[in-house]
């Protein structure tokens, strides 16, 4: 997918900040922008919500996993979802990575 960003002269400083941060993190500018958008939209969400946003899991599966978690209070929701084959381990890791941002 390709996306163009149109900005005004007054916004150039933002593009410069993105370029600097992308260089420090050794990322492309587009990856940096996506990272910022992801952080903005996924801030303070729970792992089930993030996985749902990623279209990795259905709402019904999240609800089932939450019920199991209520019964077994010592288990993390993500672990339950992986054990029940609702999500792949790498999908869970990605969601957790997003959540930590």
Angle at 5 between CA 19 and CA 93, to 5 degrees: 65
Dist CA 35 CA 41 (whole Å) = 10
pLDDT digits over 48-101, tens only?
999 999 999 999 999 999 999 999 877 899 999 999 999 999 999 999 988 886
pLDDT for 101 equals 61
DSSP per-residue string spanning 4-27? -----GGGHHHHHHHHHHHHHHT-
* Token digits of residue 88: 């792949």
User: What value does the mean pLDDT take over residues 36-41?
Assistant: 90
* Token digits of residue 64: 């089932």
Look at residues 61, 44, 38 and name the one whose alpha carbon lies nearest to residue 78: 61
């Amino acid at each position: 997918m390709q996306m163009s960003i149109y900005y005004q002269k007054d916004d150039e400083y933002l593009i410069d900040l993105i370029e600097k941060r992308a260089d420090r993190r050794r990322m492309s500018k587009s990856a940096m922008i996506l990272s910022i958008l992801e952080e903005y939209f996924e801030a303070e969400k729970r792992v089930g919500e993030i996985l749902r946003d990623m279209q990795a899991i259905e709402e019904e599966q999240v609800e089932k996993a939450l019920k199991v978690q209520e019964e077994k209070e010592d288990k993390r929701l993500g672990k339950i979802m992986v054990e029940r084959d609702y999500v792949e381990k790498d999908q869970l890791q990605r969601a957790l990575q997003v959540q930590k941002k």
